[in-house]
Amino acid sequence: MDILGAEEWQALGLSLRVAFWATLWSLPVALFTAYALSRWRFPGRGLLNVAVHLPLVLPPVVTGYLLLLSFGRNGMLGGFLEDTFGLVFAFRWTGAALAAAVMGFPLMVRAIWLSLDAVDRRLEEASGTLGAPPWRVFLTVTLPLALPGVVAGALLAFAKAMGEFGATITFVSNIPGETRTLASAIYTFLQVPGGEGAVAVLVGVSIAVSALALVGAEALSRAVARRIGMAE
């Protein structure tokens, strides 16, 4: 007997899809942001740091409302993106991915930032003195040494995206097959008499997926660190 019904499988599949694309979209931006915060000194650096970490301290509903104002069809960016590229976020799975990306972004940036700070600057300087341009130093020296933090940050953001609820339901609602993720499905079944069984199953699935992501982040970070150590 299948433990998960069609609706539960649908929610799980959508959550994995949302978390995957949220992580993939935000990784290059997080890498650039973390590098800027770690290596550069510029006006507004403190403001950027605050903006990056705001989703960690703001109520998720507030973040979702701000996303709706910005990326809704009548929002500042939403109307432009729809008219120019045909890209719609409000009440679509793409909006759920955007909300998940925003909520997981601080975790990803923080992990990458700390990893970049741990890189020995003398190695970068040595590569520069040998004539390597900055982009090559980054790709061949900095990024490989910071890779454990990049992997850990990506998997932490993935786990966060899997469990995102407040910003998602505010921004894209709870539409079956379109925006109903695992967290939204749990909320829905809690409102239905007799839905406790489905809730228990989905909670178990959520815990399992999140735990696997956290264990995977630790294991991959250690494996990458060992490989880098062996290469050195």
**Per-residue pLDDT reduced to its tens digit, 42-86:** 898 999 999 999 999 999 999 999 999 999 888 889 888 888 888
More confident residue, 126 or 28: 28
Residue 201 · residue 8 · CB < 8 Å: yes
Q: Domain of 156?
A: 6-231
Residue type, 61: V
CATH number at residue 135: 1.10.3720.10
Q: Residue written as tokens 């008499």?
A: 193
More confident residue, 216 or 150: 150
pLDDT at 80: 87
More confident residue, 8 or 36: 36
* Helix axes 60-71 and 45-57, enclosed angle (nearest 10): 120
Is there a domain that residue 155 lies in? yes
Residue 68 · residue 170 · CB < 8 Å: yes
109-120 pLDDT, tens digit per residue, is: 999 999 898 888
pLDDT at 62: 94
How much is the average pLDDT of 164-169? 91
Q: What is the mean pLDDT of the chain?
A: 86
More confident residue, 167 or 213: 167
**Sequence-distant (≥ 6) Cβ neighbours of residue 12 within 8 angstroms:** 4, 182, 205
Is there a domain that residue 203 lies in? yes
CA distance 187 to 205: 14
Q: Is the pLDDT of residue 123 over 70?
A: yes
| Radius of gyration of the chain measured on its C-alpha atoms | 20
Is there a domain that residue 1 lies in? no
Is there a domain that residue 194 lies in? yes
3-state helix, strand, coil in the chain (%, to 5): 80, 0, 20
* Of the ranges 31-40, 198-207, 223-232, the best mean pLDDT one: 31-40
DSSP state of 192: S
Give the lowest-confidence range in 25-34, 101-110, 156-165. 156-165
**Sequence-distant (≥ 6) Cβ neighbours of residue 211 within 8 angstroms:** none
How much is the average pLDDT of 25-42? 93
pLDDT-derived band at 130 (thresholds 50, 70, 90) equals: confident
**Sequence-distant (≥ 6) Cβ neighbours of residue 13 within 8 angstroms:** none
Residue 177 · residue 10 · CB < 8 Å: yes
64: which 2 tokens?
A: 């979702």
**177 backbone φψ class: left, alpha, beta (φ>0; ψ -120 to 50):** left
Tell me which residue of 67, 134, 77 sits closest to 100, measured CA to CA. Answer: 67
Is there a domain that residue 64 lies in? yes
Residue 109 · residue 37 · CB < 8 Å: yes
CA distance 18 to 96: 7
pLDDT-derived band at 156 (thresholds 50, 70, 90) equals: confident
Tell me which residue of 114, 202, 107, 200 sits closest to 159, measured CA to CA. Answer: 107
CA distance 109 to 88: 26
How much is the average pLDDT of 8-35? 92
pLDDT at 216: 74
Residue 108 · residue 154 · CB < 8 Å: yes
pLDDT-derived band at 1 (thresholds 50, 70, 90) equals: very low
Provide the number of structural domains found in the chain.
Answer: 1
More confident residue, 89 or 214: 89
